[in-house]
A and B are shown apart, each in its own frame.
Chain A
């Protein structure tokens, strides 16, 4: 089910690579002691180094190095024990030094792999080209004053990890799945909060197209700063279609930077290559190359959490979940943690089912995230436990669950207070069965006359009379015994 664009001359394939800028979770900026927190007043988190005052020098934040290595390990990537910070020179008002300190020829992390979990349960591998560290620029605001632009340097110097994929993505869905998977890995690792609305993760999307069956790489366009998964997918689609149009009209796609306009669902040119900067990269003489040993890597490796792919495999192998369910559960670290608490000592498949069908459905209706769920993981586990030990039927459990959603009460309490406990006392059930048979002689005769189906109707009546609490198996047995004897 590959993604193809039907053009007038035939089918086209899309080739996509992403450069994701992820803000690393650190105590301070990449080269200064200023805090890297979001939401401060303009220019509140700015040190002399960030403002590039004369004579100020950068000093590498060791935590940034650790986070990059941790992320590299999470991407199953080559960790480079020698890396170099270089200067990328260009002028802009929110770039105080007149250069961005970044890594160019010698990045801290090399090639790795991300495995995508697609909606149909299949997987797709996307290669990682590299991960390098760099400082963020500040923010220019052009709407604060009629004549002047205002500069906020709070972001200037914040630690970014630029994660560059190989051009292994072939559809908008894969592009979306890649960003989601990358975000999940970073969140599991605790190296980036993945919050795209606050700008702590954003993507530059490189798109090109080629006729189906070809393996050439045609000129690509780069769509800058796309800040949601949905926009990434829309941008790929819009840009691919535009490029197919250009080629089919006899034109040529030019290498350029483009912007995605979500309101129009189209990309438009920002600047073409003729205005491309010559960044004049060279090793930053204020900094020594970054060197560390295997022990440093091992120490970080020892603190890695179980990553989504490993967790998924464990859920499949040890618990017997389907690949799809396992994929859904591990996609988000909070969901995975919720599931593991709820499933503790219960039948995991039943818990998974309750989680993915009932809870997700309810949360979706309420527009709430799993972290805001009114039903706690412990309570969902208890509910499944009540079904397992026969205290309530699955049907009653649904009613209990609805009450849990409203009140956040423990299921045991609800069952107790509402008297929903299943009736398993044969005598009590028999009394109800006898009463229902006596009240409906005509239907009883019908069953006795050989109409098996009518027995179902009796089961329904008995359940109704017991307010759903009678054990359905016992009811069935007693009815058969009394009517068909």
Chain B
């Protein structure tokens, strides 16, 4: 079979339709690639039997003329934050190292119903807390773009590090991600992929291990913008089991990928220019604006004055919710338990051993900002600022259709860098967090490479529920950038 990294959902669906390949053949090839690609550590749990079973079922459906759409028979990775019935779901945490759900998350269930073939559960930062996939209890993930003979592995970004490593490394055609402050877009940028976070509420959170409820959104990680549109179509739905799910009909996302930017108004938020930002990134951003102009879009500078408060706001709101969301992992009903002589001791031992350092840090931060005497100064203030940030966007989107920004302030860095400095690590999210706080759809599209040949992404942000505009702009930008580089290592 040809280079597995060339497969897209579109090309697979096409080959399957034409009978050039069967889902079983395709799936077997990817199962083989996963075996060969163990060094990436992209998967926490591999599910080859389930994959072959579903591939077989897909082929049989196809034979009888019952095809469920373009995802049918396509092998994908599932971030190990989605609960999967009968398949261990860990959130990359020791505290859930033995947890096998009896239920299927709405999003993974939607994909299963669409015929997608789950190859396994992909690695991530513990409870999706991280920007480098270095906090997983199941080990770090290697970025397939790590140069041969490098002293240290490059990180794939995070938290959806296993998902991007799998897709970029040719271990899956696409994968699911979740994005709380940038966990889909930043790793996509680090690995030359498309990563899309829809409007908050498009994808049900039911059955997704919660990090920060008001921010968590599932989305696709794919090789192309059109693939992202197809996959989001399958993932999204209105779900009465999630009170924050949007009760709206879904537009046709794929049809929106017209590659036509003519007449679009593209805003360049001036506050996204950072001191000390790498020149390559600044250059790519300017290049992106030029591509838009060249395609007939109108590019204007806009202002989002509260941008500088987004990161601190995020690092109050997200840990606050996380500190409460993670309280259920207490060793009483399921998951890891360390016995103690008293209930309190059992809690302390269980949570002390079950949670890694970064998770503990965020639980502590979250507990602190919600504590009596600090609540008003931190949590309440952060919610107020969050409203201001959302209003900034609202004002801007009265004038422009999309915003163009860099996705991340750097290319993939080496494991070990920034690891002893949480603040430096948190800065990875500086461009992605504002859209998360405002619940807006945003996408990272591969734009080019830095001087070392590492991929860099460009981010597009649209207004609430303006995914069609977002896909339209993204498909045009993708075409203009024509990013075709592949990691040199073959796995």
Contacts and interface: CB of A to CB of B under 8 A. Distances in A.
Contacts of A278: 371-372
Contact of B243 (A54, A59, A97, A99): A59
Contacts of B444: none
Contacts of B209: 54-55
B370 A98 contact: no
B347 interface: yes
Interface in A256-306: 278, 280-282, 285-288
Contacts of B96: 54
A472 interface: no
B47 interface: no
A439 B203 CA distance: 104
A282 B379 contact: yes
A60 B243 contact: yes
Contacts of B150: none
Given A55-B207, A280-B375, A98 B328 contact: yes
Interface string B374-387: 01000100000000
A115 interface: no
Contacts of B240: 59
B347 to A, nearest CB: 6
A280 B370 contact: yes
B214 interface: yes
B83 A54 contact: yes
**B interface: dominant SS:** loop
A167 interface: no
B99 A54 contact: yes
A118 to B, nearest CB: 40
A91 B328 CA distance: 9
Given A54-B209, A57-B206, A59-B241, A280 B328 contact: no
B347 A91 contact: yes
Interface string B201-239: 000011111101110000000000000000000000000
B324 A98 contact: yes
Of B96, B102, B240, B323, most buried by chain A (CB within 10 Å of CB) is B323
A457 B323 CA distance: 90
Contacts of B401: none
A52 interface: yes
A240 B370 CA distance: 36
Nearest to B372: A278
B241 A280 contact: no
B375 A55 contact: no
Contact of B206 (A55, A93, A99, A151): A55
Contact of B324 (A48, A54, A99, A149): A99
Given A58-B243, A91-B327, A97-B328, A285 B321 contact: yes
B60 interface: no
Interface string B226-266: 00000000000000111110000000000000000000000
B241 A57 contact: yes
A53 interface: yes
Contact of A55 (B208, B326, B344): B208
Given A51-B333, A55-B105, A57-B205, A282 B243 contact: no
A89 interface: yes
Greatest chain B CB density within 10 A among A48, A55, A151, A287 is at: A55
B50 interface: no
A55 B320 contact: no
B48 interface: no
A288 B243 contact: yes
A195 B326 CA distance: 36
Contacts of B370: 89, 280-282
Contacts of A151: 332
Given A54-B91, A282-B324, A98 B330 contact: yes
A374 interface: no
A91 B209 CA distance: 19
Contacts of B328: 52, 54, 96-98
Contacts of B327: 89, 91, 97-99
A282 B322 CA distance: 12
Contacts of A91: 327, 330, 344, 347
A60 B242 CA distance: 10
Interface in B178-214: 205-210, 212-214
Nearest to B333: A51
Contacts of B152: none
A280 B243 contact: no
Contacts of B326: 98
Interface string B417-435: 0000000000000000000
A87 interface: yes
B404 to A, nearest CB: 30
Contacts of A54: 83, 89, 91, 96, 99, 101, 209-210, 328
Contacts of A52: 328, 333
B82 to A, nearest CB: 8
Interface in A231-271: none
B91 A287 contact: no
A285 B214 contact: yes
A55 B333 contact: no
A286 B328 CA distance: 15
B206 A53 contact: no
Interface string B339-369: 0000110010000000000000000000100
A372 B18 CA distance: 78
Given A59-B240, A99-B327, A288-B244, A53 B334 contact: yes
Given A54-B91, A97-B327, A286 B343 contact: no
A57 B102 CA distance: 15
A135 to B, nearest CB: 14
Nearest to B212: A285
Which of A59, A98, A288 has its CB near the most chain B CB atoms (within 10 A)?
A98
Interface string A51-93: 1111111111000000000000000000000000001010111
A53 B242 contact: no
B375 A286 contact: no
Contacts of B214: 285
Contacts of B333: 51-53, 96
Nearest to B347: A91
Contact of A280 (B89, B101, B371): B371
B88 to A, nearest CB: 12
Contacts of A87: 324
Contacts of A288: 243-244
Nearest to B90: A54
A197 B82 CA distance: 43
Interface string B304-327: 000000000000000011011011
B243 A55 contact: no
A393 B68 CA distance: 87
Contacts of B242: 57, 59
A55 B128 CA distance: 13
Interface string A2-42: 00000000000000000000000000000000000000000
A278 B370 CA distance: 9
Nearest to B245: A57
Contact of A286 (B207, B213, B371): B213
A469 B210 CA distance: 83
A278 B321 CA distance: 16
Interface in A194-208: none
A53 B101 contact: yes
A286 B379 contact: no
10 contacts: A54-B209, A55-B105, A89-B323, A91-B344, A98-B328, A99-B327, A280-B375, A281-B375, A282-B320, A285-B321
* CB-CB nearest 7 A-B residue pairs: A98-B327, A280-B370, A285-B213, A285-B214, A52-B328, A55-B207, A54-B209
Given A51-B333, A53-B333, A285-B244, 15 more contacts: A48-B103, A53-B83, A54-B89, A54-B96, A54-B209, A54-B328, A57-B243, A91-B327, A93-B332, A99-B327, A149-B343, A151-B332, A280-B324, A280-B372, A288-B243
Interface of A: 48, 51-60, 87, 89, 91-93, 96-99, 149, 151, 278, 280-282, 285-288
